[in-house]
Amino acid sequence: MNISQHITSYTKRHKIGICIMAVVFFVDLIYLSNTTSNVPIMDYWRYGDEFLYEIFNGGIRFDTFWESINGQRGFLTYLLFFINVKFFHWNTRVAIFFGSFVTFLTGLLLLYIMDSNAKGQGRKAKILEGAIVTGVSMLLFNYIQWEIKVIEFAAPFAVITFFVVLNMWLGDYILNHLDIGYGKIFGYAVLLGLSICFIYSAFFPAVVGAIGLCGMFHFFVQFKKDGFSYIGAYLIVGAGILLAAGFYLAGIQGISGSDFNLVEFGKSILDGEFFKGYAVYLGTTVLHALFSEKFGIRVTGLAGCAVALFYLISIWIYLKHREQIKSYFPVMLIVYSLLAGVLLSYGRGNVYGVAYMASSRYAFQSKMGLIGVLLILKSVLKADGQQIARWRYVLNAAAAGCVIGALLASQAAEFKLSPYRRANYDALIETMHHIDSKEDDELVGFQATTPEQVRNTVEYMKMYRLGVFANLPPDGRYDGTGREADGD
């Protein structure tokens, strides 16, 4: 079957799912159009201060992108920043909309992975499948994660999510087809290793942990049948992971404020703060930070307990119906989110407290587990020609209803806020145009580490005609309204 036939077959099988995903993608574009402006935020002021001069004067080298800060390397983020600067004059909205497009591609890949289990099972199963696909789509484009969606970090985070899905899907395929040959398995090990080094950053332990734990589970449950027949496949992938992890971690710096402070992390587990923060982290999958601000952090924690309950139910269903479901992919997504929560609790919650775990940016990690839950529940809608049990319908309807209902409430709240976010970003652009007359405390809104980073970067942007200064007149004078400044 050639590529065009594959595409035709795919669109026929998933035409409803593609339509749902496309609608959610279109709504996302509207949201981003109404919310974003061409202004750098947070760490991008440091990138501008450190890298812009080097980019335009031939000083960028591999070790520039390979620097280690706060326990992680930002190679992918730096690379995308470099591409944006060189080819798009550092237009932050290009990166933001690129992130949305990559998320749409991730959704299409998920549809391909999910396939259509409800085919021939009747209208009720098809309706529920459509609801599950809607829930998955809304989780992917989740507006709870607004803090990342509306700034330039949208691009690297979206690429990371795509490669999480891609590597887990391929890892699942290999586990179920260990006889495909060492060449393809070696190719997968190379892809996973490159992803560890250059894409996943500090979250690579969660990815390889999810894939590795499912691999170990498969090895032990199949040992009676396979023995050591496929041990070479496990060793190739395992060696690739170890080599890549060693390369990534060599010379890395610790996390500011918690440098490998396992004692404090242990105390947080014993006194229960870890579990409180973890529940809040899971709650950020479905509840906007506004609910925490209005009703208290406990509300998000309770939502997290409900999400954890769905995790437990779905894992129980998976273990009970493993022969029917077969795929490890949804379990990998769940384990990934759980392990990412541990990493965040150690690196952030351990330093800044429980409330910090409610940060909107962490919905990028927590949402993947809930997608895995929905995929497991969706798989039991297939009954191999037998009548589908009532509990399967009820559980799917309950899960899809809870997810869609919570996300609709959260996303409605975010849509109401979007004009104010846009006004704030536009005000920051105005500040950039008149930065020489601004005091340091008026630059807090840029969320830079220091005011000097903002001032220096704005000068570089003017010098190299970047961002909102891309059309700066030759004489370098600009009044911030799109008109040349009046002459002296």
Q: Would 442 be classed as within a structural domain?
A: no
Tokens in use for 286? 């479905």
Residue 457 predicted with pLDDT over 90: yes
Whether residue 134 has pLDDT greater than 80? yes
For 320-374, how does the pLDDT look when each residue is reduced to its tens digit (9 = 90+)? Answer: 887 777 889 999 999 999 998 888 877 665 556 677 777 777 777 888 998 998 8
240 contacts 215 by C-beta, under 8 angstroms: no
Residue 235, domain member (yes or no): yes
Q: What are phi and psi of 287, to 5 degrees?
A: -120, 130
Q: How many CA atoms lie within 13 A of 189 on its CB side?
A: 19
Q: Place 480 in a pLDDT band, splitting at 50, 70 and 90.
A: very low
Tell me the average pLDDT across 88-97: 94
- For the segment 309-323, the average pLDDT, to the nearest whole number, is 85
pLDDT at 431: 92
Report the C-alpha gap between 451 and 7 in whole angstroms: 51
Question: Sorting pLDDT into bands at 50, 70 and 90, what band is 272?
Answer: low
Q: Per-residue confidence at 156, pLDDT binned at 50, 70, 90?
A: very high
User: Residue 385 has what pLDDT?
Assistant: 45
pLDDT at position 258, please?
A: 46
C-alpha angle 381-127-415 in degrees, rounded to nearest 5: 115
What is the Cα–Cα distance from 172 to 326, expressed in whole angstroms?
9
- pLDDT for 393: 64
Longest dimension (CA), the chain: 87
CB 114, CB 379: distance < 8 Å: no
CA torsion through residues 55, 60, 66, 69, sign: negative
Mean model confidence pLDDT for the chain:
83
pLDDT on residue 486: 45
In a domain, 29, yes or no: yes
Max mean pLDDT among 119-123, 209-213, 320-324 falls in 209-213
For residue 472, being part of any structural domain is answered with no
- Specify if 482 maps to a domain: no
* Residue 283, domain member (yes or no): yes
pTM to 2 decimals? 0.89
Q: What pLDDT score was predicted for residue 1?
A: 61
Handedness of CA 136, 141, 143, 148 (dihedral sign): positive
> Is the residue at 446 inside a domain?
no
Judge whether 134 lies within some domain.
Answer: yes
Most confident of 177-181, 236-240, 478-482: 236-240
User: Could you tell me the pLDDT band of residue 378, with boundaries at 50, 70 and 90?
Assistant: confident
Kindly tell me if the per-residue pLDDT of 416 is higher than 90: no
pLDDT of the residue at 123: 66
- How many domains, the chain? 1
The yes-or-no verdict on residue 487 having pLDDT over 60 is: no
Q: How confident is the model at residue 116 (pLDDT cuts 50, 70, 90)?
A: very low
Lowest mean pLDDT among 37-51, 286-300, 322-336, 343-357: 343-357
Sequence-distant (≥ 6) Cβ neighbours of residue 51 within 8 angstroms: 60, 64, 78, 81, 82, 85
Please report the pLDDT score of residue 117 as a whole number.
43
Residue 263 belongs to what domain range?
13-379+389-424
Distance CA 408, CA 348 (A): 28
